[in-house]
Amino acid sequence: MSAVSSRLPVFPWDKLEPYKATAAAHPDGIVDLSVGTPVDPVPALVQEALTGAADSPGYPTVWGTPAMRDAIKGWLEQRLGARSVEHTHILPVVGSKELVAWLPTQLGLGAGDQVAFPSLAYPTYEVGARLCGAEPVVYGDDPTELDPTRLKLLWLNSPSNPTGRVLAKDELVRIVAWAREHGVLVFSDECYLELGWEAEPVSVLHPDVCGDTFEGVVAVHSLSKRSNLAGYRAAFIAGDADVLGELLLIRKHGGMMTAAPVQAATVAALGDDTHVQEQRARYAARRAALREALEGHGFRIEHSEASLYLWATRDEGCWETVKHLAELGILVAPGDFYGAAGERFVRVAFTATDERVEAAVKRLAR
């Protein structure tokens, strides 16, 4: 075993391959609801902005163009309600997963430091801690119960992947106050913030949460879900200017630059709300159809008030559920991919096409 592989957990999706083969053998083909990857077209105005900037022979800057920073600033203020945003509060990143995986390393964390994340969470939070030699620590519903002595980085994720749970504003206020009191840096993964269904997600950058300063808080945002730009790797972070300044310096040395055409596409995407509402309507219809079908099939849905997933259980081991659905030609993600607390749940994405969602609904109804 290599030194790198010994530090990292097993890549979970490899374990799903046999069930994927079973689902693919269905006479009407597989309905893959295991991964939350967009399948709908990139909005035309974004494609036009990308191709319009295709003649970009020079190196882009790590900090991005002033136009992109202006677009991010405007979106933060208009959509999140953030106040007094300056360019120093903004930093583009090459997709949010890259940021999550390498953030602890770029912050200079290592042995003796702790990185905390929810007990049901995106696996890359743990990967990021292990890559730099820090200790990964999981927490339940309340991170303020953690011992802050060695805690350097606290991850929040609202709306949650995989559960779709949304942290209420008063919870965020209390957590941010506790973290500031103990000198713990808060990074809030808010990539699903525009996909609230039964709750209205609130950013840590909202003044009701962080007050009149971004000190000690940073929000992570992505255009992958809201604008179908997963293939563009368009994302950014916003918040504490001192933290972002250090990260900017490090990322300059590392050459971590968002491609110039993608920067132009980001400006177009953040400047248009119509395509976001159109995509929300598609997801809302798919969500409603799958939820009704799953509940009719004997599933119980918990949380799921936001994001692109239904957190579902039949009160059995998650791999039993995965097997059962694979035999119907439907592939889902087992809950234990996201932590031991998910061992009796599956995560069902509603990012498949309308035709494939309809196929899943019909199979579940039989």
Q: pLDDT tens, 29-82?
A: 999 999 999 999 999 999 999 999 999 999 999 999 999 999 999 999 999 999
Q: What is the pLDDT of residue 5?
A: 54
Sorted by sequence, the CB contacts under 8 Å of residue 24 that are 6+ apart come out as 30, 329
Are residues 123 and 9 in contact, defined by beta-carbon separation less than 8 angstroms?
A: yes
Q: pLDDT tens, 153-198?
A: 999 999 999 999 999 999 999 999 999 999 999 999 999 999 999 9
For residue 361, the SS3 value is: helix
From CA 39, how far away is CA 356, in angstroms rounded? 11
Nearest to 205 by CA among 195, 222, 193: 193
Predicted TM-score (pTM) of this structure: 0.94
User: What is the mean predicted confidence (pLDDT) over 304-308?
Assistant: 97
Whether residue 147 is predicted with pLDDT greater than 90 in this model: the reply is yes
Find the helix packing angle between 17-24 and 318-326, rounded to 10°: 30
Whether residue 2 is predicted with pLDDT greater than 60 in this model: the reply is no
The residue ranges of every structural domain in the chain are 3-41+275-365, 54-270
CATH architecture for segment(s) 54-270: 3-Layer(aba) Sandwich (3.40)
Are residues 276 and 46 in contact, defined by beta-carbon separation less than 8 angstroms?
A: no
User: What is the mean predicted confidence (pLDDT) over 283-291?
Assistant: 98
% of the chain beyond a pLDDT of 90: 95
Q: What is the pLDDT of residue 366?
A: 83
CATH architecture for segment(s) 3-41+275-365: Alpha-Beta Complex (3.90)
Choice between 117 and 6, residue whose per-residue pLDDT is larger: 117
From CA 135, how far away is CA 258, in angstroms rounded? 30
Here the tokens at position 281 are 């309507």
Whether residue 354 is predicted with pLDDT greater than 70 in this model: the reply is yes
